[in-house]
Structure 1
């Protein structure tokens, strides 16, 4: 007896529902089985997959897992294992007596991430602004005698970006080994420009960090938005820079309506330089066979800067434990006794970090956070503001900077400890991006950093409880709804 059209239709519908349910179930189970995922992240992904089945599943395939790609991950592990350990010419460098016992545990957290000890004998200068930082970098490259190593997340073919390119070309022309790396997504304008080809022709060794290749096939080989967010310059194994500065003009013409970008950068000399050198080498050698053994195996000398301050490089990313950078921030926050001041453009914390900041306020620590008034990411800006009410209730002072997009990532603690680098206080920096920071103990340099932070505060508007209470239900609904999916941003 022939099957009726109605019966066939019912069969198709039933089969489709079963297949739909099976696919959703498989992805929900995968979310539950993934390692190193916070419960809030699991819940957020499960809600997205169930509420928006097609879009949710596709989003999870593209962005749900921190996946470097098997071959890339294996090469990076092999390279990191082959990089020689640091050798110092003085035990005093490894036992910095300047660090009080009350702060030493902070540097133990840092060592657990990369194996870098805090090393004594460093000096640093805080750059006046973004243009001054680029000018200083160019001057140091022009004075380079042996090597220049550089990695930036964003390198634009604008005034400052081309100044850097020209300095590298001049250095290569006089026989200096120049190795420059730029993220394939963040620096795509420079990479696909004639300036990139001209640097290559001049003898600058160039690498595209985390190349995307075919964007349609990229998700099959690893997550497309997993990026190298680091900003490192190392010159002659003697000078290094660390901070939030990309290789671009503060006018940041790709997002000009938020300009100027307000960044912060420090120039370091001393044994800390070698740690940044090793971090650069781990990135460079993961992409190209270009030996750096001779430079990496030289003993680190105390030299004339042995009376300087102790410092430590902290490099995080998908190749270290997912909780590494949050642990650094939370340890610093919990350690605050008198004063804690933070500047960050992007704040999408996990529950532990939000609780740590609130606890600092409740125990009487003078806690201040400065955000940009206008964020280039509407989603992140809205999510950040969902946390304002609880922070203010705990006594945390919140300011919104009005002099441009405050892109500076800085933390000062009790007038003695400073953290500076590329990491934001959001899940992208914590779990996805390769980041670099420097943690240091020096009351004088921290005082200088505090003055810069106070400059930001002076150009900011305070956010009060009355202002937050005055937000309408629509705005609160939007902020809180976006914050709900914060674990997957």
Structure 2
């Protein structure tokens, strides 16, 4: 018994000291781990060993730093440095755009145009048409790429392009797209001449467990065609019915088709992942930055576990702070850190009309419980909350004052903040922002409002459950 007690004490003390030595961990994160380690010491120690630290390994970090030194240098050479297009951004929003530019070195570029895709069918039709019209190259990267109608149609378009001599580079996340990577369709792409690469693969499971984390994933959704067109939004290469989780379907996404200099920035972001996975040089990735007459200012923002910690919540907080009249946000996964939560409440307190749209039924019970733990505080501050009831609202959108939009792959949860590689585009344009706002209003029309009186009437057991899950959220 004394041996077991001694082992128990050493285990808890060892991991406690490790947690206290970490400067990158927030106080709530430390507290969550302390709770788990003391209540479930053996289970908690195993979970911390597997998932406690955000680290992809020293070799990957060094390679990433080398790659992004080259990427930033190319971005500055090709598109200019900070301040080059500041005057195109209204003064009140400049802090947010400047902050976004500090993350990757991708600063505001004017001369962009965009088209909001009406629906999932239109997105697929336009994307296939653009791939079929490609003359030089097609680059795609998806977190989830299924062998359903959408996933197969994209793969077949790449096969056709490769067979007519177009350079096709395709990346898929090693976990999210695992069924495709092991499928005959993936092999057919390879045999047809498509260069296929797995992002964050599981070549050596034991090595991954020891040196990194299994749940560090590439969550990006990037499509670049002939360095002229790029697609950005929340949609994976999968049907809305999303057969891997069909009981939550349809999954409701949003996609924009861009032209202009912002395409080159998305190309560079794709290049960073391609170089990391293959070891190839940036020289193999073509770049151009043809401006669209009368186009709007925009820039790409990419984050991940090898980028600056806290970049995503700090960007969102900057955008919330810039809002003068209104901000509307939709996200499927809402587990904010204190920075984001307080910034939202502060915006509402100073009179900004803050509207939040979440799914009514979430595919993650953990996220659903944690999200609702924040409802009381948000509603009390004056925010409006809507729960979308028709399928799973997967669109990640933010509109500010009818002028500024942020769209892409980032959720407002700890995974997007710390663990996933994400890509987004920040833009200032009243026409496009109005189109996204109208889409947000469609979401609201399909939603139920959440009233403060209803939240206060929740049973004590339900409120306790939500708060318990939120408390250990940094662990989950």
TM-score (norm 1): 0.94
Equivalent in the alignment of 2:151:
161
- d(CA) in 1 for partners of 2:381 and 2:281? 52
Q: Do 1:93 and 1:121's aligned partners in 2 also have CA atoms closer than 8 Å?
A: no
Equivalent in the alignment of 2:164:
174
Q: Do 1:154 and 1:248's aligned partners in 2 also have CA atoms closer than 8 Å?
A: yes
Equivalent in the alignment of 1:383:
370
Equivalent in the alignment of 2:351:
364
- Listed one character per residue, the Cα deviations across residues 225-263 of structure 1 (whole Å, up to 9, x for unaligned) are 000000000010000011100000000011000000000
Q: Do 1:96 and 1:120's aligned partners in 2 also have CA atoms closer than 8 Å?
A: no
Equivalent in the alignment of 2:412:
425
Q: 2:278 aligns to what SS in structure 1?
A: coil
Structure 1 residues 451 and 180 mapped into 2: Cα distance closer, same or farther (>3 Å)? same
Q: Do 1:94 and 1:120's aligned partners in 2 also have CA atoms closer than 8 Å?
A: no
Equivalent in the alignment of 2:289:
300
Equivalent in the alignment of 2:250:
260
What is the aligned counterpart of 1:231 among 218, 221, 227? 221
Equivalent in the alignment of 2:205:
215
Q: Do 2:170 and 2:194's aligned partners in 1 also have CA atoms closer than 8 Å?
A: yes
Deviation of the 1:344 alpha carbon? 0.3
Deviation of the 1:321 alpha carbon? 1.1
Higher mean alpha-carbon deviation, 96-105 vs 370-379, is at 96-105
- d(CA) in 1 for partners of 2:46 and 2:458? 34
What is the aligned counterpart of 2:423 among 416, 430, 436? 436
- Listed one character per residue, the Cα deviations across residues 393-418 of structure 1 (whole Å, up to 9, x for unaligned) are 11100000011100000000011000
Equivalent in the alignment of 1:355:
342
- d(CA) in 2 for partners of 1:311 and 1:225? 31
Q: Do 2:82 and 2:98's aligned partners in 1 also have CA atoms closer than 8 Å?
A: no
- d(CA) in 1 for partners of 2:398 and 2:57? 33
- d(CA) in 1 for partners of 2:83 and 2:127? 26
Equivalent in the alignment of 1:14:
2
Alignment of 1:61-100 (within 5 A): 61-83=49-71, 84-86=73-75, 87-88=77-78, 94-95=84-85, 97-100=87-90
Equivalent in the alignment of 1:192:
182
- Listed one character per residue, the Cα deviations across residues 269-327 of structure 1 (whole Å, up to 9, x for unaligned) are 0000000000000001101133341545x56343xx14200001000001111110011
Q: 1:228 aligns to what SS in structure 2?
A: coil
Equivalent in the alignment of 1:315:
302
Q: Do 1:90 and 1:301's aligned partners in 2 also have CA atoms closer than 8 Å?
A: no
RMSD: 1.6
Higher mean alpha-carbon deviation, 197-206 vs 475-484, is at 475-484
Which structure has the greater CA radius of gyration? 1
Unaligned segments of structure 1, at least 5 residues = 1-12
Q: Do 1:141 and 1:167's aligned partners in 2 also have CA atoms closer than 8 Å?
A: yes
Q: 2:74 aligns to what SS in structure 1?
A: coil
Unaligned segments of structure 2, at least 5 residues = none
Structure 1 residues 49 and 89 mapped into 2: Cα distance closer, same or farther (>3 Å)? closer
What is the aligned counterpart of 1:392 among 379, 382, 406? 379
Structure 1 residues 76 and 89 mapped into 2: Cα distance closer, same or farther (>3 Å)? closer
Equivalent in the alignment of 2:13:
25
- Listed one character per residue, the Cα deviations across residues 10-56 of structure 1 (whole Å, up to 9, x for unaligned) are xxx32332232122111001111113111110111111111100000
- d(CA) in 2 for partners of 1:278 and 1:347? 29
- d(CA) in 1 for partners of 2:446 and 2:370? 23
Q: Do 2:264 and 2:289's aligned partners in 1 also have CA atoms closer than 8 Å?
A: yes
Q: 2:302 aligns to what SS in structure 1?
A: strand
TM-score (norm 2): 0.97
Aligned residues: 474
What is the aligned counterpart of 2:327 among 340, 358, 378? 340
